[in-house]
Amino acid sequence: MALILFNKPYGVLCQFSDERTGPPRPTLAAYIDRPGFYPAGRLDLDSEGLLLLTDDGRLQARIADPRFKMPKTYLVQVEGDPDEAALAALRHGVRLKDGPTLPAQVERIEAPALWPRDPPVRFRKSVPDRWLRLTIREGRNRQVRRMTAAIGHPTLRLVRWRIGDWTLDGIPQGQWRDA
């Protein structure tokens, strides 16, 4: 059993080939050349950060299956500056179209020292932004983005920093290491 921790860049598909017709998009194959490894979970094309890959099907299922409620921590740049009521809504769980979310852990943080994103997040002088550290224990499609939108603060940048005990700390963008 082996595990790879990969710092997925913005715009990279969480698969090894692009089945779509049209211009090719970057895939994991451009970064990881170890055969037999598959992602344990996903990160959207427009999200960055920690992606775990393994060659062990049972471990892959344990990491990705929402029944195990493995905590996932994200650094989230949102539009505007959420007040305490908005943060409390996240802490209690918000209602999405597919039902209520589990309560999240959330706190305001200073802007983290991250690699530059390409393309950069749009900046607007008239609209402030704020960074949050948000931890969830489920993994619905685009869940963090939908949660911040539900409280009136759309996500501008989303970086997954931690899954369980595994963290992105010390892994440059586009690089990976064995766990």
Catalytic positions: 44
Query: In the numeric block, which tokens belong to residue 51?
Result: 């992606």
DSSP string, 37-77: -EESS---TT-EEEEEEES-HHHHHHHH-GGG---EEEEEE
Q: Would you say 37 and 31 are in contact if contact means Cβ atoms under 8 Å apart?
A: no
| Residue 13 main-chain phi, psi, to 5 deg | -70, 145
Look at residues 127, 172, 148, 179 and name the one whose alpha carbon lies nearest to residue 74: 148
Amino acid at 170: G
DSSP string, 139-167: --TTHHHHHHHHTT--EEEEEEEEETTEE
41: left (phi over 0), alpha (psi -120 to 50) or beta: left
